[in-house]
Structure 1
Amino acid sequence: MNNDKSGFFLVREEILPEAIKKTIRVKEMLKRGDARTINEAVEKMELSRSAYYKYKDYVFPFYEASQNKIVTLTLLLEHKKGVLSSVLNTISADSGSVMTINQGIPLQGVANATVSIETANLSVDLEALLDKLRMVDGVKRLEVLGQS
């Protein structure tokens, strides 16, 4: 394994060490204005300043990491009229820009589709858009394939 490159990983919050979770919350408090200073925020979160400074430049919520990016989604869609159109309309309604669409031939009543979305002008955060897409009638599965 090449250790010269650093990469990004999606990790479920529940397995993160407490100091990293608290660092994320401190950053959110500062962003929302719930604390005026870093000192005030770390005290509220019962986090040491040194832990905050150690992690602050390396942790951020998924939606923040996906801003101004191209995100590629893979979807499993029911083979019925209008499902892909509803997905695309949902993306468009939140000002997402569809870059590419690739849909496979339907087999056994479902079709795989891959959609790449430019997120620069999204009117909602990416997680909210993904939740909306999962609620579209006919979307059986949705996963983030990657981002660039």
Structure 2
Amino acid sequence: MSEKTTYYVLKEKAVPDVLLKVVAAKKLIEEKKCSVQEATEIIGISRSSFYKYKDDINPFHEDTKGKTVNVVIQLLDEPGILSRVLDEIAHFKVNILTIHQSVPVGGSASLTLSVKIPETGVDYADLVSAIENVEGVHYVKILARE
């Protein structure tokens, strides 16, 4: 089984400059619809640094109440695992907006979920950690927060 991901919350001054530049490049790409090449040149980092860290750094938004979080979950293709994942999600009282499971290949399947975080303020990092701890889950990755 793969190693579980640990999340940290850091003050901006503790984050290495290269990671802050990756965040800035991602923002440029999203807002200005420019290419990775253009964004990295403007920001002043290499494309290899961008690709190395792009999936590992995201800005932290304290106000996630009432927001939608999209995650992808890689899990074993065994009876009961999806049910255990959904039970774990139910404990957090989030609303599942969409759910899609791929056809299993090689003993694993991908599950993509969109969940609405309630106004009561569920910590989505706690939700992700709880899902990661379900036996049979390989990994959980946050795709987007809206």
| Alignment correspondent of 1:110 | 108
* CA drift at 1:87: 0.9
**Are 1:16 and 2:12 matched, yes or no?**
yes
| Alignment correspondent of 2:136 | 138
Q: CA offsets per residue over residues 54-113 of structure 1, 9 Å max, x none?
A: xxxxxxx83624221110100101000111111111111111111110000000010011
With structure 1 as the length reference, what TM-score do the two structures score? 0.57
| Alignment correspondent of 1:89 | 87
Q: What secondary structure sits across from 2:88 in the alignment?
A: helix
* CA drift at 1:14: 5.6
**Misfit runs of 4+, over 4 Å:** 12-15
Contact 2:67 2:145 in 1 (8 A): yes
Q: Aligned pair in 2 of structure 1 residues 62, 15: CA closer, same or farther (>3 Å)?
A: closer
The residue type equivalent to 2:113 in the other structure is V
| Alignment correspondent of 1:73 | 71
Contact 2:65 2:122 in 1 (8 A): no
* CA drift at 1:120: 1.5
> Structure with the greater relative contact order (CA < 8 A, sep ≥ 6): 1 or 2?
2
| Alignment correspondent of 1:24 | none
The residue type equivalent to 1:86 in the other structure is R
Which structure: larger Rg? 1
* CA drift at 1:127: 1.2
| Alignment correspondent of 2:34 | none
CA distance in 2, matches of 1:102, 1:118: 16
Aligned length: 96
CA distance in 1, matches of 2:102, 2:94: 22
How do 1:112-127 residues align onto structure 2 when only pairs under 5 Å count?
Answer: 112-121=110-119, 124-127=122-125
Q: Aligned pair in 2 of structure 1 residues 121, 136: CA closer, same or farther (>3 Å)?
A: farther
The residue type equivalent to 2:116 in the other structure is E
